[in-house]
Amino acid sequence: MTRGDFGRTRGSIVAIAIVVGLISLGGLVLLEFAKADMPAWLYAAGTNVLAVLFGLAVVSFAWEFLVRQSHSTDLRHYLRLGASVAQSGLQEVTTRSQLDWSRLLSSANEISVLTHNGEWLERNMYTLRDIATRRSLGVTVAVPSQGSAVVGREAVRRGSSADKVSEGIIEVTERAARLWREAKDGGAPLRAGSKLSVVEHDVDVDYEVITIDRVTVVTLAAPDVKMTLRDRVAFVYEQSPEEYPTSFFRTHVSGLSALNRLEEVTA
């Protein structure tokens, strides 16, 4: 049905509702005038039938002009929202702590991380090592450099000092690199082509971006003037790297190889 056909059908329904409403209302008025000359059963039956018809006409009229318009507006809003979500590739919105990293990383071939501390690497270093022993895996993790604004904010949130935060990042980086070196030289060697690279960045951002092939995970800190440590909100996108907003969140990836390396292990 075309939009014109829909409009004509709606107009016909409204016209019928008006006609039925006027006829039934007129019938009710006439019954009142003729009540004295009519049998009681006929008057009761007539008023019941006409009252029902009048009620249906009023309901139909109200539906067409009030309820349908409101529902149509809501439906159009949700359809536009659904189309926008589908186009953006958004798959999930959750808290960072609830993300299933094992599932997200299970089929990974190329990973890049722009983060604000060493937590992501610490949490996933064993998973990354295990994947690299099964197939070729490229991992680049960019952590904040010592003395950067990001480290300062992280220290305030944790009630610590910037030096301790930086020391923690270095310690995690060294442990991750040691895991890969031990695997490389041990009984379960890394697959050829696998590489772990940890670099340091000076990007003053308060979000975290993890790219896993076609998947992009963006985590944001809640606005908080007191700079308290809270769980972050995570947005998971899956689309081509050239599509927006993935292309926006991946603008840093091409420059990671030029940053200062803290550790690098290549199979």
State pLDDT tens for residues 231-267. Answer: 889 999 999 888 988 898 888 888 888 899 999 999 8
Query: Across-strand partners of 2?
Result: none
Does the pLDDT of residue 78 top 90, yes or no? Answer: no
- What does pTM read for this prediction? 0.68
Looking at residues 48-57, what average pLDDT do you find?
70
Whether the Cβ atoms of residue 222 and residue 230 lie closer than 8 Å to each other: yes
Question: How do residues 173-201 score in pLDDT, each as one tens digit?
Answer: 999 999 999 998 886 789 999 999 999 99
CB 118 within 8 A of CB 173: yes
Q: Is residue 121 scored above 50 in pLDDT?
A: yes
